[in-house]
Structure 1
Amino acid sequence: MHVLVTGATGFVGRHLVSALLARGCRVRAVARNLEVAQSMPWFGAVEFIVADIHAAELEVAALTEGVDALAHLAWPGLPNYQGLFHFEHNLMADYAFIKRAVEAGVPQVLVTGTCFEYGLQSGPLDEQTAPQPGNPYGLAKNTLRLFLESLQRELPFTLQWARLFYLHGAGQNRNSLLASLDRAIEAGDASFNMSAGDQLRDYLAIEVAADYLAQILQHRGFSGVINCASGQPISVRALVEQRLRERGASITLNLGHYGYSPHEPMAFWGVADRLKQLLNVEPGEVTEHGA
């Protein structure tokens, strides 16, 4: 299988490229920065193209020639979820790029969505839960999905919409929870400032999530929305304490230093039944690599 990956040097993209190669796929990787790409362990194993996929002069037909699927991960501006640029720029630029790719003959498109499409709804969230996005990022992503579903009625193609929940691992934003904790441990800090930690979230290791995305791409008959989640809620405090045990670290947690985010519900997680049935895995499990 020949896959074009946009945003290939981003947090998810760099791991998806590795997962696809491990599963025997050919990869054409696209990103804007050659120097960053050259630092990737997979650089010599892919066809790498420096390009801005939002550029009007981009020759999309040439970029997509010969590929079986597009894995579209590029989305500038994260982790600023509140910026209006998500729908003022990214939304229409992404739609235009994907439409041009489909018009050029790409038969299958996987797009990474977000759990923020569900908005402030609490509890277990499955794919039948009606989206109620509460921030510009979630609104733009959900609207892009609606646009692409309308496009399918004019230009039939397979659309795989993978809603990502909370991911952690190598390459994550340096200000994210676990990255900040790791930095505090390595600096020998005596304490770590955090919220009370009662929030329930759905966390998934990036290597596991990337393997799931690679498998979804190889299920070429699947079209629709799918939660890319562990399916298991865990409190933020328990997650932090788990990392401390893994690191063999002793650090005082300054609980309640930060308040709760008004942009997220106290407890929500993804229902991973569809993922489990499609891939024949237990949520959180990496399967053996196939051809």
Structure 2
Amino acid sequence: MKVAVTGARGFVGRHVIAELARRDVEVIATERPGVTRDRPAAANLRWVALDIAHPPADPFAALGNPDVLLHLAWDGLPNYRSLHHFERELPRQYAFLGSTIRSGLQALVTVGTCFEYGQQSGPLAAALETRPDNPYGFAKDALRRELQFLQAAHPYKLTWARLFYMFGDGQPATSLFAMLKAAVAAGHRQFPMSGGEQLRDYLPVSEVARRLADLATNPGNPGPVNLCSGRPVSVRRLVEGWIAQNGWGIEPIYGELPYPDYEPMAFWGEGGDEARIPDASAKNQ
């Protein structure tokens, strides 16, 4: 089996590549032309240069005629409110994926976002009506709809995997886990943050990578699915759990920062298998 992966150098992509490399599949990973440094290597992994903004005439052939495309690439993050997402990114995403499907791709697994649900609170089922209220969520939701319309003219298998929250090594510097880890490395004794009472759905990125690899190696046509833990955890408990689990000598200072205005106070996914989330009672490792 041959699986192509776009966005292979990103936070999730690097973990996905590592997971797929452990399986009995041929992996084709994309990178921007001219970017070859720090390239992960494996016997069943091959890299190809490909720019989604300027794709080749036959992207399916350029990807090595894969059985499945696992599409992770998306520019413009983490600025969720940037108009770039639907002014530039959405058209180029659909152009690339549409061209790849028309030229022969039979199965596509691509990632969406929990922001497609907008400000809806509580448990969020994958079949729930989407109500995005920021440009990133809107653009992702619009791409999903475009790809579903395309199925009527060019039948192919589509899995739309909505990501919730993740943590792990290699995360962008603006993420909560990365900022906490950087504060510890800098020797800070305190970590200012919001009140921490918001409820979220978190998974370790290694678990997200495993589930994406499962979807890619067993492609079907389920439509939207949630990649989530299926249970809420407060950000306060999550941060305290990370500190306890790692034995870090830093104290969270709650209420120093405002709550984000682009997400509700409490939401989590339905449909995901429960996963272990570190809590304050975890033993140091």
Could you state the TM-score of these two structures normalised by the residue count of structure 2? 0.92
For residues 89-109 of structure 1, give each alpha carbon's deviation from its aligned partner in whole angstroms, at most 9, with x where no partner exists: 111111111111111111000
**C-alpha distance in structure 1 between counterparts of 2:241 and 2:267, whole Å:** 19
**C-alpha distance in structure 2 between counterparts of 1:238 and 1:6, whole Å:** 34
Kindly state the Cα deviation for residue 283 of structure 1 after the two structures are TM-superposed: 2.9
1:169 is matched with which residue?
168
Q: Report 1:43-82 matches (<5 A).
A: 45-55=44-54, 57-82=56-81
1:278 is matched with which residue?
none
CA-based RMSD of the aligned residues comes to 1.6
Please identify, of 49-58 and 263-272, the stretch whose mean Cα deviation from structure 2 is larger.
49-58
1:249 is matched with which residue?
248
**C-alpha distance in structure 1 between counterparts of 2:255 and 2:19, whole Å:** 38
Contact residue 120 and residue 267 of structure 2 kept, 8 A: yes
Structure 2 alignment gaps of length 5 or more: 277-285
**C-alpha distance in structure 1 between counterparts of 2:135 and 2:42, whole Å:** 34
2:123 is matched with which residue?
124
Q: Is 1:147 the counterpart of 2:146 in the alignment?
A: yes
1:16 is matched with which residue?
16
Give 3-state SS (helix, strand or coil) of 2:155's partner: coil
Contact residue 72 and residue 111 of structure 1 kept, 8 A: yes
1:284 is matched with which residue?
275
Give 3-state SS (helix, strand or coil) of 1:225's partner: strand
**C-alpha distance in structure 1 between counterparts of 2:169 and 2:149, whole Å:** 36
Q: Is 1:233 the counterpart of 2:232 in the alignment?
A: yes
Residue correspondences, number: 276
1:288 is matched with which residue?
none
Kindly state the Cα deviation for residue 46 of structure 1 after the two structures are TM-superposed: 1.4
2:210 is matched with which residue?
211
Contact residue 25 and residue 44 of structure 2 kept, 8 A: no
For residues 69-106 of structure 1, give each alpha carbon's deviation from its aligned partner in whole angstroms, at most 9, with x where no partner exists: 11111101111111101001111111111111111111
1:181 is matched with which residue?
180
Contact residue 52 and residue 58 of structure 1 kept, 8 A: no
2:32 is matched with which residue?
32
**C-alpha distance in structure 2 between counterparts of 1:78 and 1:174, whole Å:** 12
Kindly state the Cα deviation for residue 171 of structure 1 after the two structures are TM-superposed: 1.4
Kindly state the Cα deviation for residue 58 of structure 1 after the two structures are TM-superposed: 5.0
Kindly state the Cα deviation for residue 38 of structure 1 after the two structures are TM-superposed: 3.8
Could you state the TM-score of these two structures normalised by the residue count of structure 1? 0.91
1:190 is matched with which residue?
189
Give 3-state SS (helix, strand or coil) of 1:47's partner: strand
Contact residue 17 and residue 42 of structure 1 kept, 8 A: no
Kindly state the Cα deviation for residue 223 of structure 1 after the two structures are TM-superposed: 2.7
Q: Matched residues, percent identical?
A: 43
**C-alpha distance in structure 1 between counterparts of 2:266 and 2:10, whole Å:** 28
Give 3-state SS (helix, strand or coil) of 1:42's partner: coil
Kindly state the Cα deviation for residue 238 of structure 1 after the two structures are TM-superposed: 0.4
Counterpart code for 2:138? L
Contact residue 118 and residue 132 of structure 1 kept, 8 A: yes
Give 3-state SS (helix, strand or coil) of 1:262's partner: coil
Contact residue 183 and residue 191 of structure 2 kept, 8 A: yes
**C-alpha distance in structure 2 between counterparts of 1:34 and 1:214, whole Å:** 27
For residues 213-233 of structure 1, give each alpha carbon's deviation from its aligned partner in whole angstroms, at most 9, with x where no partner exists: 000112223431100001111
Q: Is 1:159 the counterpart of 2:158 in the alignment?
A: yes
Residues 153 and 138 of structure 1: CA distance in aligned 2, closer, same or farther (over 3 Å) = same
**C-alpha distance in structure 2 between counterparts of 1:147 and 1:115, whole Å:** 18
**C-alpha distance in structure 1 between counterparts of 2:156 and 2:55, whole Å:** 23
Q: Is 1:259 the counterpart of 2:258 in the alignment?
A: yes
Kindly state the Cα deviation for residue 114 of structure 1 after the two structures are TM-superposed: 0.3
**C-alpha distance in structure 2 between counterparts of 1:243 and 1:33, whole Å:** 37
Kindly state the Cα deviation for residue 44 of structure 1 after the two structures are TM-superposed: 6.0
Structure 1 alignment gaps of length 5 or more: 276-281, 286-291
**C-alpha distance in structure 2 between counterparts of 1:85 and 1:182, whole Å:** 30
Kindly state the Cα deviation for residue 53 of structure 1 after the two structures are TM-superposed: 1.6
2:280 is matched with which residue?
none
**C-alpha distance in structure 1 between counterparts of 2:187 and 2:63, whole Å:** 48
Q: Whose helix proportion is higher, 1 or 2?
A: 1
**C-alpha distance in structure 1 between counterparts of 2:189 and 2:15, whole Å:** 33
